Amino acid sequence: MSRARNQHEQPHGYRLGVCFYPEQWPRDRWESYARQMRALGLTYVRVGDFSWSDIEPRPGVFTWAWLDEAIDVLASESLQVVIATPTAAPPPWLTKAYPEVRPVDVHGRRLRGGSRRHCDLASPDYRREAARIAGAFARRYGIHPAVAGWQIDNELGDHGTGRSYSPAALQGFRGWLEHRYREVARLNEAWGARFWGQQYTDWDEIDLPNLTAGGPNPAHSLDFYRYSSDLVAEFLSEHATIIRAHSPSRWVTHNFMRLCDQFDHYPASAPLDVVTWDSYPTGGVEYSPLPPEEKARWARTGEPDLVSVNHDLYRGMKPGGHWVMEQQAGQINWAPSNPAPANGAVDLWTAQTWAHGGACTSYFRWRASTIGQELTHSGLLRHDETLDRGAIEIATSALDRESMVDERRHVVLLHDYESLWVYDEQPQSAGASYWSQFMLFYSALRGLGIDVDIRHPDDDLAGYRLIVAPALQLIDADRARRLTRWSKKARMVFGPRTGFRDRSGNVHSTGQPGPLEPLLGCRLRNTDAMPPQVTTLAAGHEVQIWAESYRVTRGDVVVAYDDGPFRGTAAVIRSGSCLTIGAWSTTLVRDLLATELAALGIPTVDLPKGVRRVSTRTREIWLNFNDTPTRTPGGLIVDPVSWCIERKRKD
Amino acid sequence: MSRARNQHEQPHGYRLGVCFYPEQWPRDRWESYARQMRALGLTYVRVGDFSWSDIEPRPGVFTWAWLDEAIDVLASESLQVVIATPTAAPPPWLTKAYPEVRPVDVHGRRLRGGSRRHCDLASPDYRREAARIAGAFARRYGIHPAVAGWQIDNELGDHGTGRSYSPAALQGFRGWLEHRYREVARLNEAWGARFWGQQYTDWDEIDLPNLTAGGPNPAHSLDFYRYSSDLVAEFLSEHATIIRAHSPSRWVTHNFMRLCDQFDHYPASAPLDVVTWDSYPTGGVEYSPLPPEEKARWARTGEPDLVSVNHDLYRGMKPGGHWVMEQQAGQINWAPSNPAPANGAVDLWTAQTWAHGGACTSYFRWRASTIGQELTHSGLLRHDETLDRGAIEIATSALDRESMVDERRHVVLLHDYESLWVYDEQPQSAGASYWSQFMLFYSALRGLGIDVDIRHPDDDLAGYRLIVAPALQLIDADRARRLTRWSKKARMVFGPRTGFRDRSGNVHSTGQPGPLEPLLGCRLRNTDAMPPQVTTLAAGHEVQIWAESYRVTRGDVVVAYDDGPFRGTAAVIRSGSCLTIGAWSTTLVRDLLATELAALGIPTVDLPKGVRRVSTRTREIWLNFNDTPTRTPGGLIVDPVSWCIERKRKD
Amino acid sequence: MSRARNQHEQPHGYRLGVCFYPEQWPRDRWESYARQMRALGLTYVRVGDFSWSDIEPRPGVFTWAWLDEAIDVLASESLQVVIATPTAAPPPWLTKAYPEVRPVDVHGRRLRGGSRRHCDLASPDYRREAARIAGAFARRYGIHPAVAGWQIDNELGDHGTGRSYSPAALQGFRGWLEHRYREVARLNEAWGARFWGQQYTDWDEIDLPNLTAGGPNPAHSLDFYRYSSDLVAEFLSEHATIIRAHSPSRWVTHNFMRLCDQFDHYPASAPLDVVTWDSYPTGGVEYSPLPPEEKARWARTGEPDLVSVNHDLYRGMKPGGHWVMEQQAGQINWAPSNPAPANGAVDLWTAQTWAHGGACTSYFRWRASTIGQELTHSGLLRHDETLDRGAIEIATSALDRESMVDERRHVVLLHDYESLWVYDEQPQSAGASYWSQFMLFYSALRGLGIDVDIRHPDDDLAGYRLIVAPALQLIDADRARRLTRWSKKARMVFGPRTGFRDRSGNVHSTGQPGPLEPLLGCRLRNTDAMPPQVTTLAAGHEVQIWAESYRVTRGDVVVAYDDGPFRGTAAVIRSGSCLTIGAWSTTLVRDLLATELAALGIPTVDLPKGVRRVSTRTREIWLNFNDTPTRTPGGLIVDPVSWCIERKRKD
């Protein structure tokens, strides 16, 4: 996977920042805000996102003065500015002039303006206008000394707009398919279009995969998701190029979202210099598939692994440290319920970002908005300009803001967006999803105190000692070859559905795991997609949601099912350095991973729920998400919703 | 708030009535029906609603004969007739001739005829045709001696049609905005349109606030709700004028619905002489946010406070006594489940209306329909013309039908539809809604045996000793000034979110409670929107759904939080005569209100669940909604699902 | 009800078959597949469904060669071929050429191709093209010696496409209404169109009954369902005629679905020779209204009665034995969760079909698909061509494949699709549905060991000793007369809502049970549609969901209610040979039916849950759906998920 050159080295040390909307506040407050920001120890201030109608109130008429001034005010306090281009919200005059810039949703409805993300990346009008305004920003501020970097757009794919079902998208999709397959016959073959008799004779017979009576062909959907994803990557690349043309030596980023499935973030992040994401731990819990009692438990802190998985994911996309571009610093506004974070949570999240290798945490937002859709969202300042609880935690934090050493970790989890798409397109079990299955393995490792990287399966995996592939559903010959090569140098663990499909999203004619069979030493016999309240047992462990039964081809049965239709058949197979786990079981997965780690001599601990550890050569960072104190093996007391650092003893 | 002159005094005494559809029954049954009605003691008979296609079967062709005759038959038994204009259901020929009379729903779909309320109040065609047919009715029956009054249309806003998202509505909305703001710049300011960069340069850039990707601007929505509400008020005013022009000395009403949010009922009721509402207690329970076990408990009686709150609400809109225009008298047909009411429930509801100052209860409907959408709905007669259980309860009721004395009550709750709209537009907590928060205070007072009025916050509140504002989210300087004036003469209690927003729906730049801060002596620190299963404690009381923590500016802390993120901070503040309650807690609110009442020397009782009392100078009316008997403090036994009157002892 | 002549006698004996898609597999596998099919003992192979785009890849260009060859290969192993015409999935070129072949859903959205059932039976284009391709198939293979029969289309009505809301459907509906009513005035009368003032003056004022604000008139809906249903019957009749013209001596069928409500299957099956249905027991459980713990219990076997009710239903449509055309033989793919069937389940389902008089079970599908929407669905072969668990059960089954004697049963249940439509159009109680109420009686009988037929109420019922009408809501004078005649010769049991409506869907002016009142000896007093958690008691039995209270006119009260609003009133009435049951109570219904059977001298047994018996003169077939063994009264042990045959002793 090619990576853009990192044009701008980030400074050493862990920095803080904030998202600021000067246009929403009286001019006479700016100086004092800037002073307060500096006093809080902030380095970066993001401005400009959603400012299009303030900068270009009428077509071609630009009012830069206020932003010029705002940047100067910030600069006067030595704050560095991150400029976000405002393309996430075209102004009403633009929406009116070019109605087709607005996307069409999956129900076939053309969405309206008046909100944000009314942007169809497939619309030539949108693309032309977006490039124009981004260019204007880049020219205006490209060499401003206070400008440290750029954020392209804002949260691409939010509100489900990563995929537009518009006529423009249809036209684009057809062209994309023609480019990919050249001949319709090859598309028919790749899609298995003879299934249900949908073989095409011409490109213009192809429709979008929504509004079908009985569900679309998954290969059709997969290609549409690829096309939509390519639009995102193309958009980011185009805008990175525009910005770099006018803004030398500044870095370019985009703020991605938590566990987002709308596009492939690997090619999307390729044209960027820095990867950032927006962290809202309480909202993450509300929208997670956790059971109600777990949601209640983590309501005020977020669930630790559901936060950190994003750190490990986005850190893996670029060297040099990722950012949290928007860090919740109080209650949010967009979840069904929006509880007040626990005392200490903002500091804990900030420390967690740092511990997981982040370079900066930038809080959202400076002052709580008095207008618009987010007026119930918190800021570092309250509506009345008093310092909110989050700001006080930042000001009083014990975090020393030294960079974490980005040490190579021993363990890596493999993640692939295409596998995610086909998984969630046909989950087959009500409780199953790609991310849930990924978290089954991720949380098991974190609960054992293991620090992990997350990488794309086609990346260079040299140096890892344990490679865990929780849910690599898409395996073709090339990928199988690469994985086989790594298996010579590392132990590997594979989860359910590994290798179920080829690149087109079809099943291998040899069945699961397709070309991985020589490596895994087994073939799938059957799957069991258990509904709620149905479970089975494997070596005494409760299995729910999903079970796979294997036929051994050259491996050994490690675990067999104790009951149910698969009784006596293999649930877990070992073949050489590879372990294949077919049973969805929290305790079984944990035990098996612990055994692998022990065999590798990688030490583990048995962490209580809510307690997590990050380990470096010299230190251990302990993070306690519980509302009770915890004691580390070394004897330190970690307060509720708090963290501490323990120096390692030299034995 | 201006009120139309009450053109027609209602007679003394509590009357009964019924809704009758002569056109649905054979001509030869009418005389016997009229006799039966009279024998049941009914005074009023409503006719005409939905009769448009029977009266004007083809454009301009009128067939009045049947209705002439029906009214004469009713008159011959000394029954008085209420004529409902038939505009709630345009005939198919009209829908075909003017397809745009039909509204567009929030999903952008043009609704069809064949049902009812396929009426777009923004459609000039609809308005013209509706005025035409209403005028024809008024001319025909305006001075008929049997005609006592008029009902304009039927249940405006039902089926969510209070807001149409049609091109006509868009055009009307733009005109309304232009009239309100004059300049686009003022609209941008009022809407905080710079949020997410949606500043307008021309009126025709403004769209309706539906079908947005990420949610509309709440100020945009608020104005659209105001515009839609104004259409309702304008429609009622227009039709009242039409009717009065031809029908001197008759009163004009409209039948509103239970806890309806589709428009502001204060201006809507202004042009009316009498306010009526339609009472379906079992349906109200089914659609309430009560937990499942409470829904089961009240399935056959309705929840007492969810019924009476409407009496107190609608009684407060006009002097002279409100009506129940449609009173459920058996099972209904439109809830998910439609249980048989308990024995005694019809009599109990009738007595409750009387006790809460109603002037008339009119039952829905005479005979159960054998046709159409409501053929599973009960009537006073069954399908087979036998007297149904409800009719027998009416016939055998002990109610003496004397008017209740409309005594001035000591306690008033303030209610404002604009606060309702902004509350429910951004509830922030899954369990929160305006009406739920309102009911938290209303039920606490009713459970203490307190009789209350409900009034608009900008009304004349002279004479009240305790003013309770459960959820006045919209507070501007004028309203703050008025409330401050009343605080000199009464104690006041304010609920959560009081003064969170200004008239535009934006947050005050000084934060909550904005201009009320000098009065309340506190400022909002933080909100806590708790998801299900999360609670906190305040002075030992369980708090759920919502908690606010305050900073004292000139008040005293009455209650502080015991735990959670707000531990030790203020939950309840007293400042002078004002108490501000930030914690959503049934028991705490009850205790605090009891304390206020005690301080005022207003006696309270501790009523069991399901038992309610209405008190006058000389009498106490006891209402028992439970399926077990209860004993009053005076020693009377009140049967299950029954009521009784106790004379007060002169001490 | 007229029945088409049975043109082709089915052979004696119970046969097996399979659904095969040769076009999805390499040519070089066909011979070995055919050999394997023969080795498994299969007789029939269905081919051709969904093959349109493979047979006619471009308009008018036919590629028959592959199908010719496939049929020859199958014939070479003495397999008989069932050809399914491919009209369930028009090719993309056709969808593009005639966009209106695609249906419009109830939300008004034109559906897209790329899936299946994008077919609007109201579209003249679709009908012409479908007839053309069906004719081409019939001409090509009509006299092929290996072709035993034909399946028209596939699963009509699947994905809710039985009703299209398209302009073509509107036009067709208007014509259908004009033909039915001749004069608009008669339609107005039949529909009770004066309700809510919707009287029509011209046919072109009539709209489809979707997208209404407040729900459509149920009589309007009923006629639209009839019209849509007539389209299905007309389509099947048209295609049967086309096929027979070219394929003498072959039988014609269609594969219906489980408990399908999309059309009236009696007229739809009339033009067929054989009736078949598609049996997916685990999916049936997932989509059933069973409570969660019951769903979990039957997750791996299906619920026995929810399977067999379809056998009894479809067997009753044609003499000579019905088929299961598609029998689940492993996990499916279309339910929320898709568990692995229990060991033995495939054999048990196959035996159950046989025991219920089926002539053939044809498994779905030969090899698990590697492409398309169903790639997670099992086959007899796995993806990797190994024999899957289901195939092994078939190969090792003890079933002797003798035909069951189709003995006349003593007990019949009456079923009417029009009653189903009006029931589910206005269920009135959240827990009520036509099929749930039908199953209340069906399961009670099956639990007593009673074998039943299911017949249309207007059928010849001679010979039955007990006639049970669980939910005949539609009763007109003719039907009442017929039922009264049968009451002279049999005992009869009627369930709730019997005779609530006339043919138009309106309520009888005499109320329920309308013209059945002389027979049933009672009239409805009241209904009680209980919400969840609300119950009442009748003779000690718990009643939930629905209760009816009766007034006796010439009958006797058998059971009265113990409590609630109906306390002391009649729940069950006997009048002569007829019993009317108004209380929805599993135990009460069972006890009452047991009493009736005892009175008739029909022996019953008390079967445990999950155990079912089919009885002939000489044998008893025992079916055990439990995961524990059971013992028959005769002392045989029946293994878990298994069956056995017990010879009856001659006493």
Per residue in C54-104, pLDDT (tens digit) is 999 999 999 999 999 999 999 999 999 999 999 999 999 999 999 999 999
Report the alpha-carbon distance of residue B253 to residue B314 in Å, rounded: 12
Beta carbon pairs, A and C, within 8 Å: 209
pLDDT at C411: 98
User: Quick check: A526 and C23 CB within 8 A?
Assistant: no
B430 touches chain A (CB under 8 A): yes
Q: Reply yes or no: is the peptide bond before residue A365 cis, omega within 30 of 0.
A: yes
Residue A531 is given by DSSP the state: P
Report the alpha-carbon distance of residue B251 to residue C582 in Å, rounded: 46
- Partners of A623 in beta bridges: A612, A643
Per residue in B220-239, pLDDT (tens digit) is 999 999 999 999 999 999 99
Shortest Cα–Cα distance, C532 to chain B (Å): 7
Report the alpha-carbon distance of residue B491 to residue A216 in Å, rounded: 64
Q: Are the CB atoms for B596 and B579 separated by under 8 Å?
A: yes
Shortest Cα–Cα distance, A105 to chain B (Å): 9
pLDDT at B403: 78
Residue C402 pLDDT class (50, 70, 90 cuts): confident
pLDDT at B634: 85
User: Quick check: C370 and A215 CB within 8 A?
Assistant: no
**Catalytic residue among C286, C326, C548, C596, which?**
C326
Q: What is the mean pLDDT of chain C?
A: 96
Taking residues A138-153, report their average pLDDT.
98
Residue A622 is given by DSSP the state: E
Residue C634 pLDDT class (50, 70, 90 cuts): confident
Per residue in A422-448, pLDDT (tens digit) is 999 999 999 999 999 999 999 999 999
pLDDT at B3: 36
How many CB atoms sit inside 10 A of residue C104's CB? 22
pLDDT at B401: 79
Which residues of chain B make contact with A339, given a CB cutoff of 8 A? 528-531, 534
Question: What are the helix (H) ranges across A247-388?
Answer: 265-269, 281-286, 292-297, 304-315, 345-355
Q: Answer whether residue C6 shows pLDDT above 70.
A: no
pLDDT at C7: 44
Residue ranges of E strands in A505-638 = 522-529, 535-538, 541-544, 546-552, 556-560, 570-575, 578-581, 611-615, 619-624, 630-631, 637-638
| Closest C-alpha among B13, B84, B18, B14 to residue B387 | B18
Q: Is B155 a catalytic residue?
A: yes
Residues 36 through 75 of chain A touching chain B, CB cutoff 8 Å: 50-54, 57-58
Shortest Cα–Cα distance, B333 to chain C (Å): 6
Per residue in A271-307, pLDDT (tens digit) is 999 999 999 999 999 999 999 999 999 999 999 999 9
Question: What are the helix (H) ranges across C401-558?
Answer: 417-425, 434-447, 477-487, 517-520
Q: Answer whether residue A113 shows pLDDT above 60.
A: yes
**Catalytic residue among B155, B286, B393, B620, which?**
B155
Q: Among all residues of chain B, which has the CA nearest to that of C523?
A: B384
The angle formed by the CA atoms of residues B132, B134 and B140, to the nearest 5 degrees, is 105
Taking residues A535-543, report their average pLDDT.
98
Identity of the residue numbered A366: W
Taking residues A550-571, report their average pLDDT.
97
Which residues of chain B make contact with C206, given a CB cutoff of 8 A? 92, 114
pLDDT at B8: 53
pLDDT at B648: 82
pTM of full prediction above 0.95? yes
Q: Reply yes or no: is the peptide bond before residue B226 cis, omega within 30 of 0.
A: no
* C104 Cβ contact list (under 8 Å, min separation 6): C110, C111, C120, C164, C165, C166, C167, C169
Nearest to B533 among A114, A293, A378 (CB): A293
**In chain B, what is the greatest distance between 2 CA atoms, to the nearest angstrom?**
75
- Chains touching C (at least 3 CB pairs under 8 A) are A, B
Nearest to A216 among C96, C109, C114 (CB): C114
Nearest to B531 among A93, A337, A368 (CB): A337
Q: Answer whether residue A650 shows pLDDT above 70.
A: no
Report the alpha-carbon distance of residue C281 to residue B107 in Å, rounded: 37
User: Quick check: B109 and C199 CB within 8 A?
Assistant: no
pLDDT at B1: 32
Report the alpha-carbon distance of residue C467 to residue C478 in Å, rounded: 17
Q: Is B326 a catalytic residue?
A: yes
Taking residues C482-486, report their average pLDDT.
98
Report the share of chain A in percent with pLDDT over 90. 94
Residues 146 through 175 of chain A touching chain B, CB cutoff 8 Å: 158-161
Residues 215 through 234 of chain B touching chain A, CB cutoff 8 Å: 215-220
Encoded tokens for C124? 């003249």
How many CB atoms sit inside 10 A of residue A110's CB? 18
User: Quick check: A370 and B508 CB within 8 A?
Assistant: yes
pLDDT at C4: 39
Residue B455 is given by DSSP the state: E
Report residues of chain B scoring pLDDT below 50: 1-7
Encoded tokens for A338? 């929006």
pLDDT at B2: 35
Q: Answer whether residue A407 shows pLDDT above 80.
A: no
Q: How distant, in Å, are the alpha carbons of A323, B486, B602 from that of B465?
A: 57, 9, 9
How many CB atoms sit inside 10 A of residue B300's CB? 26
- Chains touching A (at least 3 CB pairs under 8 A) are B, C
Q: Answer whether residue A406 shows pLDDT above 70.
A: no
Q: Answer whether residue C565 shows pLDDT above 80.
A: yes
Q: Among all residues of chain B, which has the CA nearest to that of A161?
A: B213
Q: Reply yes or no: is the peptide bond before residue C513 cis, omega within 30 of 0.
A: yes
Complete DSSP assignment for A481-525: HHHHHHHTTSEEEE-TTTT-B-TTSPBPTT-TTGGGHHHH-EEEE
Cα B403 to the chain's mean position, in Å?
22
Residue C492 is given by DSSP the state: E
Residues 20 through 39 of chain A touching chain B, CB cutoff 8 Å: 23-24
Q: Are the CB atoms for A288 and A295 separated by under 8 Å?
A: yes
Residue C577 pLDDT class (50, 70, 90 cuts): very high
Taking residues C297-303, report their average pLDDT.
98
pLDDT at C389: 98
